[in-house]
Amino acid sequence: MVRNEMKIGLFGIGLDTYWPQFEGLKERLEGYLQTIEDRISIIHPHVINAGLVDNVDKAFVAGKLFSSEDVDVIFLYVSTYALSATVLPVVQRAKVPVIILNLSPEAAIDYKHFNALGNRTSMTGEWLAYCSACPVPEIANVFNRTGIAFHQVTGMLHNDPECWQEIQEWIEAARVAHTMFYNRMGCMGHYYSGMLDIYTDLTMQTKYFGGHFELIEVDELSARRNEVSEAAIIERVKHFHDVFDVMNDCSAYELRRAARTSVAMDSLVTGYKLGSMAYYYMGTGNAGNEDAISSIILGNSLLTANGIPVAGEYEIKNAQAMKILDSFGVGGSFTEYYAMDFAADVVLMGHDGPGHIAISEGKTKVKPLQVYHGKVGKGLSVEMSVKHGPVTLLSVVEKKSGDGLMLLCAEAESVPGPILEIGNTNSRYQFSIGARRFVNEWNSHGPAHHCAIGVTHIASKIKKLGKLLNMEVVQVC
């Protein structure tokens, strides 16, 4: 699958009638547009600048440019009054989300200087350089009437951190939407039988996120394991000791078994160009398959930490949520409720299987388990807590009656304290609305029992992603 870079379309608008009337106005506005391009390029380098569009002919040319360049999002800089007819052809042709930048060059007009200019033509030209807010209602009206979704950033060109933080979040959200569209998810095995909440419609997933789902047989992983060399096994065991805190009771036999599967998983991911994965398989009745699946946790934890999030129990929806968080650069570890601690007002959350070891509080432990609860086999597992500090929970939720998908999120704190030392990922989470209310409100939206957790608070970015993907976003806290 083609993995091209995300591209940002940028253009400014003006009115060509003004240029001969007000000397220097066009050049001044083009300078503002260049400032915006320079600042956006620092955040994301691939910017296609169509320049100052000041008449209908240029609008059609700009629309064709953005279409041919396959831009993912358009930033429309409103520099002064402009006709909506010079805007509509651009975004109609490109057919991508548009963010209106209503940016004033300064906090306010210098009224004393302005009124002392004396020449009313000069005064009008100066006013028009601050007139960015004027045509925004006209543009919004036309976008609404023609069915074009738009978003706005209102602020200042300079000395406005809040405004530029918002622009950065739109760019990050667009980058994640781009990543999701080109992502290939491997689906290996089958659902955990009877776990009805995690069953999902792959076509519906594609409708909202794009991407491609590769259905993979566990037999192929077993076959690739047979091809792993002795040297590769030795090297991977060494890597395990470098990356993990391997407990003394982990046998050399189990480490070698996990290493073989880890190398085979890397080969599988490379072969299918996977960007994420969901898996589950009983393996009963086939010794090779059971051997593969029961030794998969360490390798999948490495993949998850390296930008290939892997969700157990064939939880495709949660693999999507994990990929979103990881694409925002905040991790995305597989989790579910473990218990409630009413004394400390926290919810204990974690999961068996792979964890996102890149967001672990300290080094992730490797422990041997005599049984995988509710699953076939035994072997090595990981135990970790998510880094202490702010976290964001995310779930991809199927709405009632097949009414599409939504994103459910919450901001919380990962806090220190005792955890269950059972060889699973688990953490303590504190919520601003309290543990009781959080659980009730989160559950009320009907998510699957799994969710993804990433470090830092990014609900505002998730909301922007939802707008770009035309998805409802609900924030519980």
Least confident span in 339-348, 414-423, 467-476: 414-423
pLDDT at 285 over 80: no
Secondary structure of residue 455 in the 3-state scheme: strand
Domain ranges across the chain: 8-180, 183-323+331-475
What pLDDT, in 10s, does the model give residues 108-141?
999 999 998 889 999 999 899 999 999 999 999 9
- Please give the average per-residue pLDDT across 266-291, as a whole number: 91
- The CATH class given to the 8-180 domain equals alpha beta
Secondary structure of residue 405 in the 3-state scheme: strand
Q: How far apart are CA 188 and CA 74, in angstroms?
A: 37
Secondary structure of residue 375 in the 3-state scheme: coil
Q: Enter the DSSP assignment of 399.
A: P
Is the four-CA dihedral 462, 468, 473, 477 of positive or negative sign?
positive
Give this prediction's pTM: 0.95
pLDDT at 1 over 50: no
Burial 434-443 (b: 16+ CB within 10 A, else e): ebeebbebbe
Instruction: Please give the structure tokens belonging to residue 320.
Output: 């999507």
Type of residue numbered 73: V
Q: How far apart are CA 414 and CA 456, in angstroms?
A: 10
> Which H helix or E strand runs over 304?
helix 297-305
pLDDT band at residue 400 using 50, 70 and 90 as cut-offs: confident
Q: Do 321 and 392 meet the contact criterion of CB atoms below 8 Å apart?
A: no
Residues 6+ apart with CB under 8 A from 358: 304, 305, 306, 331
pLDDT at 58 over 60: yes
CATH code: domain 183-323+331-475 is 3.20.14
